[in-house]
Amino acid sequence: MKLRCKVTSVVVANLLMVATVAGFCLNVFPPATSTGMALAAAHKPVTIRFWNWWDASREPLMNEVIRRFQEKYPWITVKSQVDGWSGRTAKVLAAYAAGAPADLTMVTRAELASLADLGAITPITDWVKRDKLDLTQFFAAEVEAFYWDGQLWSLPLPTVSGEGSMYYYNKDLFERAGLDPDHPPLTWRAFAETARKLTLRDDTGRIRQLGMDTFPQLWVHLLYSNGGELLSSDRRHVQADTERGREALRYAVDLTQKLLGGSAAMGQFLAGTTPAIAFAQGRQAIVQGHPSVMAVILQNAPAGFRWGVMPAPYNDQRPEAKSRGIAGFQWGWGYAIPKGLPPEREEAAWLFLKFITADEQGAGYFLVKQGRPASVIRFNLNPEYSKIVGPNWPLIIKYLGNDVAFPALPVMGDIFNKLVERSYAPMGGTVEPDNALQGIQTDLQRIVDDYWAKRNKS
């Protein structure tokens, strides 16, 4: 595992050097090489149903991906079913419970692990081996996020990474505050002072410019940049109430309450909008850089908007601490193939899954059109990305490589929800951080213990 992460980081560095120094250019979307009728004649026609939530502006993009796939595999017809978001998880689980799932369904990491645990889906491990699919072409955390119980269950689209590995900042606001826009803060201490300088109030004390928004689970991201982890690698031990955890929660609370004016004042400032929109409007100086936030910036920021990218700050008081993000802690989309499909439909579902996650004509096209990073490292060398995103693009890709995967567990959704619920009080200043952490540790460990106890009985 460590070796693959090391190799991946070297690959990222080398590719970025080639792209930026040597003017590397890819033949991004080569023409399909299928022989059409000859290929179709050699295979029995098969139709698969693809249930997904690629709605709005993404639907025509996915339709184009499907057209490209069918051109490459002319014996396979993909019927796309785009659904609404209300009650999404319940719909997916109900479809499996009724024995009528789609041949390929877009699911979250938690749903994927749950379905795998129930024996309702089939792993892709053997398909990957059969097709000699090189998994090292992905960012390491992207693939690791979809391992559960010794098997690989899916591949990602879009990236699972980027939840907390980078922050975006407004260069003009940095300059106005007397800060160097080319040297953003890299450590907890420098970051706290920067956020303080960038938070401005009017004569009544109301925030008129916010340094950065905070949120209940921020301290977990800080835990990782403090050299800690929330869940052990064997998925059995919660590691919240540790010295690293206490340092992370205290820092997040101090940042919120003492330097940014408090969660109530922050909420008042952001009422009716989002941190990403406030950032694009020039009213917020720093925002955590999930790839979806970048899309909001690109769509809403005015012409000439000067923004930069920096890695997540780390605690320089701990020698082992470094900038890290958590891949798949909250989100992360994969694709489930149900168990028991006829062989020809199972293979068709696998070929389509592989196309939309690992093929440049599929995943590469779909993501570059949105300006969102690809999980396959080399796809990000497409020069169209720099045209869409601008000069920050190489750093965005670099910092994605800092992520580590949150261990998959069927109850990871319960863990996340409980953690957020119990973190509101300390972040709001109503419960002391150390006391809150004891309760968080107890609640999360109970969720984990209950899961393993039930699994061991089955």
pLDDT in tens, 225-246: 999 999 999 999 999 999 999 9
Query: Do 155 and 138 form a contact (C-beta atoms < 8 A)?
Result: yes
Same domain, 21 and 102: yes
Mean pLDDT over residues 433-455, rounded? 96
Same domain, 397 and 290: no
pLDDT score of 419: 96
Residue at a domain's end among 363, 388, 405: 405
Same domain, 291 and 336: no
CA distances from 122 to 188, 282, 306, 347 (A): 44, 47, 47, 11
Same domain, 321 and 336: no
pLDDT band at 292 (very low <50, low <70, confident <90, very high): confident
pLDDT of 79 > 90? The answer is yes
pLDDT score of 27: 37
Mean pLDDT over residues 38-65, rounded? 90
Written as six digits, the tokens of 395 are: 């750093």
DSSP annotation string for 193-252: HHHHHH-EE-TTS-EEEEEE---TTHHHHHHHTTT--SB-TTS--B--SSHHHHHHHHHH
Same domain, 294 and 438: yes
The CATH number given to whatever domain includes residue 432 is 3.40.190.10
pLDDT of 23 > 80? The answer is no
Residue at a domain's end among 364, 385, 405: 405
**Residue 391: domain span:** 2-162+328-405
pLDDT band at 25 (very low <50, low <70, confident <90, very high): very low
Same domain, 245 and 99: no
Burial of 11 (0-12, 13-18, 19+ CB in 10 A): middle
pLDDT of 348 > 60? The answer is yes
Same domain, 225 and 189: yes
| pLDDT tens column, 123-169 | 999 999 999 999 999 999 999 999 999 999 999 999 998 888 899 99
Same domain, 56 and 157: yes
Beta bridge partners of 325: 403
Same domain, 23 and 151: yes
Burial profile 224-260: b = 16 or more Cβ within 10 angstroms, e = fewer: bbbbbbbbeeebeebbbbbebbbbbbbbbbebbbebb
Same domain, 185 and 207: yes
Mean pLDDT over residues 255-283, rounded? 93
pLDDT score of 37: 53
% of the chain with per-residue pLDDT over 70: 91
pLDDT band at 369 (very low <50, low <70, confident <90, very high): very high
pLDDT score of 456: 83
| pLDDT tens column, 175-220 | 999 999 999 999 999 999 999 999 999 999 899 999 999 999 999 9
Residue at a domain's end among 405, 421, 448: 405
Beta bridge partners of 105: 51, 336
pLDDT score of 412: 93
Lowest mean pLDDT among 7-21, 61-75, 135-149, 294-308: 7-21
The whole-chain average pLDDT of the chain stands at 90
Alpha-carbon span 435 to 438, nearest angstrom: 5
Same domain, 114 and 157: yes
Same domain, 67 and 139: yes
Q: How many domains does the chain have?
A: 2
